[in-house]
Amino acid sequence: MTAEPPEPEPRDHPEHHHPHPRTALTRIWVRSLVSFAPAPAPRWPMALQAALSMFVPVGLFTLLGHPSVGLMAASGAFTVIYVAWATPAQRIRILPVIGLALLVCAALGAVVAPWPAVAAIGLVVVAIVSSALHYGYRLGPPGPLFFVLVYGLATHVTAVVGGKRVVDPLLFLAAFAAGVAIAYLIAVVAAVIMHSVRRPDPDSVRRLPRTPSLDADSRALLVRVAIVAVLGTLLSVLLVDTARAYWTVCAGLAVIGVNAGRRAAFVRGNQRLVGTVVGAGLFAGLAFLPIPVWLLPFLLGGLQYVVEILVVRNYALALVFITPLVLIITSTAGAASGVVTTALILERVVDTLVGALLGAASGIVHPRRARVG
C-alpha cells in the first residue's frame, strides 16, 4: 500500500564531473537506502486513514469472533490510498470507482482459482488491463500494483486444496466488499473534515481525463508491465509454482510503479529487494511470537500507519514494514492451506528477487536520457 516515492537525484561534485556510470549508479542506490527525502505534503492524514481502514475491519470481525474474515476484509483497505493528490470532493467521487475495480479483480481471481492455468492467464490479463487504465487515467501513486495483488490474493485464499475451496469465494468477496465500504466511509469522513478546515485552491485542482490516453512514458510503462507479467508468470509456472506467480508479478510492478526511467528502475529494484528481505525477517520474528488475536488489529493498523509515513521518504525502509503487513494478511487469511511459515518466507524472498530483477531489467525499454517522472 504505497505512494510513489521521489527518486533521489545525484549531486555534482567539483572533482567528479564525469563519474563512471556504474559508480554513479551505485552511489545513488546506496544513498537511496540511507537518506530520507522530504515529504511533498504532510503524510499523517493519509496515514491515519489507511491505518483506520486496516484497523476497523480486522477489529470489528475479531470482536464478532471471526478474525480470519477480518483479515480478508482488511485487503479492502487498499482502496483508501488511491488518489491522495485529489481534493476531498474528488476523492468522494473517485474512490467508489477504485473500490469497484478492486472488487472486480477480486471476483475474477475467485472465479478462476480452481484452474491454475486459467488463473495464470488471468494474472497477465489483469496486470495489463488494469495498468493500461491506471496509466491512461493518470491516477498516479501507488500505481496498478494493488489491482493485481487483490486478484492474486483472491486466487490464493479461495484456491482448491484437497478437493474443496480453502475459503468460500462468496465469503471472501463479501468480506472484501465490507472492507472496501469501511475504507470509503473513513475516506468520506476525512474528506468532510478536511474540506471544512481548508478549501483547495481552484487553480491547483487536478482533473482526470474524460477518456484514457497514453503518452510516450505511459506506453513505455505499459510495455514494461506486459514484459514483467508475461515473463514473471511463465517463470513461476515452469520453474516454481503457478500459485506463486502473482507475488513475482507484483514484485515487478512495485519496481515499475509510475516512474519512467532506467535509473528509477535500477534504484527501485534494489530497494525492493533489500526492503523485502529485511521485512521477511521481521515477519519471521512476528510469526513465531504468540501474538494474541485481539492484538492483530493494532499490529496491522500500526504497520500500515508507519508504511504511509515512510513510503514517500524512504521506499526501502517502508518495504521493511509493507512486507510483514502483506504476508500476515495473505498467510493468515488463507491459514487453512497449511503453508509452513519458514517455507513461505523463503518463497517470498525468491519470488521478490525474480520479480524485482525483471522490473529493474525492463527499464531498458526507456531511452537512456529519459527523465524520471
Tell me: the pLDDT tens digits for 127-165? 999 999 999 999 988 889 999 999 999 999 999 888 899
pLDDT at position 2 is 52
pLDDT at position 290 is 80
DSSP lists the bridge partners of residue 16 as 13
Average pLDDT over the chain, rounded to an integer: 83
CA 100, distance to chain mean position in Å, is: 17
* C-alpha span between 229 and 359 (Å, rounded): 10
DSSP 180-204: HHHHHHHHHHHHHHHHHH-PPPGGG
User: Which amino acid does the sequence have at 307?
Assistant: V
User: Which amino acid does the sequence have at 126?
Assistant: V
pLDDT at position 311 is 85
DSSP lists the bridge partners of residue 164 as 161
* Per-residue model confidence as pLDDT tens digits over 95-139: 999 999 999 999 999 999 999 999 999 999 999 999 999 999 999
Give the pLDDT band of residue 363 (cuts 50, 70, 90): confident
Give the pLDDT band of residue 326 (cuts 50, 70, 90): confident
Residue partners of 287: CB distance under 8 A and separation at least 6: 331, 341, 345
DSSP lists the bridge partners of residue 13 as 16
Give the pLDDT band of residue 362 (cuts 50, 70, 90): confident
* C-alpha span between 306 and 51 (Å, rounded): 9
Residue range 339-357: average pLDDT?
76
Residue partners of 254: CB distance under 8 A and separation at least 6: 2, 143, 145, 268, 272, 355, 356, 359
Residue 33: Cβ-neighbour burial (10 angstroms; 0-12, 13-18, 19+): middle
* Per-residue model confidence as pLDDT tens digits over 253-272: 988 877 666 676 677 767 77
Residue range 309-319: average pLDDT?
85
Residue range 67-89: average pLDDT?
90
Share above pLDDT 90 across residues of the chain, in percent, rounded to a whole number: 42
* Per-residue model confidence as pLDDT tens digits over 24-65: 656 766 776 667 767 777 888 899 999 999 999 999 999 999
Share above pLDDT 70 across residues of the chain, in percent, rounded to a whole number: 81
**Would you say the C-alpha torsion 211, 112, 77, 282 has a positive or negative sign?**
negative
pLDDT at position 368 is 64
Dihedral (Cα; 109, 111, 116, 121), 10-degree rounding? -60
Q: Has residue 372 got a pLDDT over 60?
A: no
Is 178 or 11 the better-scoring residue by pLDDT? 178
C-alpha cell at 129: 488491463
Q: Has residue 81 got a pLDDT over 80?
A: yes
* Per-residue model confidence as pLDDT tens digits over 155-194: 999 998 888 998 999 999 999 999 999 999 999 999 888 7
Is 194 within 8 Å of 203 (Cβ atoms)? no
